[in-house]
Amino acid sequence: MLLPPQKRVYFVRLEVRALGELPEMLTVREVAKLLRIPVRSAFQHCKDGRIPCVRIGRTVRVPKKKLFEALGLREEDLRPS
């Protein structure tokens, strides 16, 4: 039995030891988990342009480089020393 669309629960398994290990394109759910914000807020930030994203049909992806730039991070700072 499926729950109504607003009640569906999606689990994102994101086990990353260093931010540099992230894939080049992230889902909005992965970004929400990284930023520790609700998924709805992450989608709203994408819609408002506060989180840079790319729409491919109905799919929304966030480029890792653009996300780091928006957060004021550099990839050099994220590499393990």
Mean pLDDT of the chain: 80
Give yes or no for residue 11 having a pLDDT over 70: no
pLDDT confidence band for 22 (50 / 70 / 90): confident
CATH number corresponding to 22-74: 1.10.10
What pLDDT was estimated at residue 37? 93
pTM of the model: 0.72
> Which of 73, 3, 2 is closest to 35 using CA atoms?
73
Higher pLDDT, 7 or 70: 70
Q: Which residue has the tokens 């550099």?
A: 74
pLDDT in tens, 37-76: 999 999 999 999 999 999 999 999 999 999 988 888 776 6
**CA–CA separation, 26 vs 52, rounded Å?**
11
